Structure 1
Amino acid sequence: MAWTEITRAQYRREDLEYASDLRDAEWALIAPRMPERKRLGRPRRTDLRRVMEAILYIVTTGCQWQQLPRHFPAFTTVQGYFYRWIREGRWEAMNHILVILSREQDGRGATPSVGIIDSQSVKTVSAGCNLPKTAG
């Protein structure tokens, strides 16, 4: 996609503390996919929006878990949520829903109507074959 003045303004994130932070509208799409509060046990005190922003910060900057800025939740908390959401399949579900919403926003069908599979294959020499011996 080529950047134009319209797209530059649309994707500008200078008003946020970090470019990886979520706007309210973006969080509104993700929040329903977050785990519910448990009825039993200790009540959750961690803000899941800050956890998600911390994960996006790590993904965007490539920093290590331990280098997460202090105003995010503790890196061990963020890391725990990240791996739990992987095990639960939450990332795949969120990605699937967001792709559908993005396609519908662009005026396309929720799922692709055509798929292209490249069936080209490359033949290689199998290991252990009998190669001609050269006189040496």
Structure 2
Amino acid sequence: MWTRTSRAQHSRAGLRIASDLTDAEWAVLEPMMPQAKRTGRHRTWPSRLVLEAIFFVLRSGCPWRMLPERFPPRQTVYGWFLLWRDRGLFEALAHRLVLLERERSGREASPSAAVIDSQSVRTTEAGGPRGYDAGKKIKGRKRHIMVDTAGRPLVLRSHSAGIQDRDGAVPPCRPRASASPSSKRSSDSAYAGERVAQATCITPEIIRKPKGQIGFAVQPRRWVVERTFAWLNRNRSRARDFERTIASAEAFLYAASVMLLVRRLGRSA
């Protein structure tokens, strides 16, 4: 519940644009960003401004061509986005920030339990891989995310919505897909197939509906991952999937995770 204290704590009023980074947030990210080469052509635009432009597109949902003039040219921003996407920078930043945020809250850096779930979203006419989710009556893509018990994103994957949950959950469950392997994973009955159980040596715990339940009821630990979906979808570009490629869709998901975690670390600095 929002109070005057919490609103003041989360306020971005002092920034020119609410998606910009504060000095405390940039102090957290700067050591993790790729350093400029000592030789060769010097950068015209600093990494901080380029990253703020990517966060603006992510948060506002505007096209690259409509970036405000205070940011670098859209060709420059988009070029850096593709370079960082292909190098896995957003995923690496997200994993590193999860470890820092867990340590800040007094937890072990590597989580011992995780929760996995999926969300189907519609795509646009941009094209790219898509499918039809018969269960949710949605044509588009499906997002599989794995979070720790506090909702911090660990693994974020995107694929066609036509792929069923028990098949789409295999890549996130594999140990090599996560920088923070867990000893226990919770999921719903859609992940009860053998493929999910054989994807890793860890047997998932299936959280089923209690017998005799009528109507909606909050299930243990299941609400954690649903809350994370809500956090990610507060970025307007994630309300739908506008990206042509799966790689860009996943890069934006990890960028949303970076924005979420770095704000928490910046407030505590």
Scaled by the length of structure 2, the TM-score of the pair is 0.43
Give unpaired runs (5+ residues) of structure 2. 114-183, 192-269
Structure scoring higher RCO (CA < 8 A, sep ≥ 6) equals 2
Whole-angstrom distance in 2 between the partners of 1:55 and 1:121: 35
Q: Please say if residues 33 and 90 of structure 1, whose CA atoms lie closer than 8 Å, have aligned partners that are also in contact.
A: no
The residue type paired with residue 88 of structure 2 is G
* Equivalent residue, structure 1, for 2:111: 112
Change (3 A) 1:57 1:119: closer
Q: Which runs of 4+ in 1 moved over 6 A?
A: none
* Equivalent residue, structure 2, for 1:88: 87
Whole-angstrom distance in 1 between the partners of 2:10 and 2:76: 30
| Aligned-pair identity (%) | 45
Whole-angstrom distance in 2 between the partners of 1:97 and 1:50: 21
CA shift at 1:41, angstroms?
1.8
Whole-angstrom distance in 2 between the partners of 1:77 and 1:99: 29
CA shift at 1:119, angstroms?
6.1
* Equivalent residue, structure 1, for 2:10: 11
Report the structure number with the largest CA radius of gyration.
1
* Equivalent residue, structure 1, for 2:55: 56
Whole-angstrom distance in 2 between the partners of 1:93 and 1:101: 13
Whole-angstrom distance in 1 between the partners of 2:41 and 2:16: 31
Q: Aligned Cα RMSD in Å?
A: 1.8
Farther-moved stretch of structure 1 (78-87 vs 101-110): 101-110
Whole-angstrom distance in 2 between the partners of 1:118 and 1:24: 38
Cα deviation, 1:83-119, whole Å, max 9, x if unaligned, reads 1001111101100111111112222221212232326
Higher strand fraction (1 or 2):
2
Give unpaired runs (5+ residues) of structure 1. 123-136
The residue type paired with residue 85 of structure 1 is W
Scaled by the length of structure 1, the TM-score of the pair is 0.82
CA shift at 1:120, angstroms?
2.2
Q: Please say if residues 21 and 56 of structure 1, whose CA atoms lie closer than 8 Å, have aligned partners that are also in contact.
A: yes
Farther-moved stretch of structure 1 (109-118 vs 63-72): 109-118
Matched residue count: 122
SS at match of 1:15: coil
Q: Please say if residues 58 and 68 of structure 1, whose CA atoms lie closer than 8 Å, have aligned partners that are also in contact.
A: yes
SS at match of 2:79: helix
Cα deviation, 1:35-54, whole Å, max 9, x if unaligned, reads 11113321112111110110
Equivalent positions of 1:16-27 (< 5 A) are 16-27=15-26
* Equivalent residue, structure 2, for 1:127: none
Whole-angstrom distance in 1 between the partners of 2:103 and 2:6: 19
Equivalent positions of 1:35-46 (< 5 A) are 35-46=34-45
CA shift at 1:121, angstroms?
3.8
Cα deviation, 1:58-82, whole Å, max 9, x if unaligned, reads 1010000000001100011011111
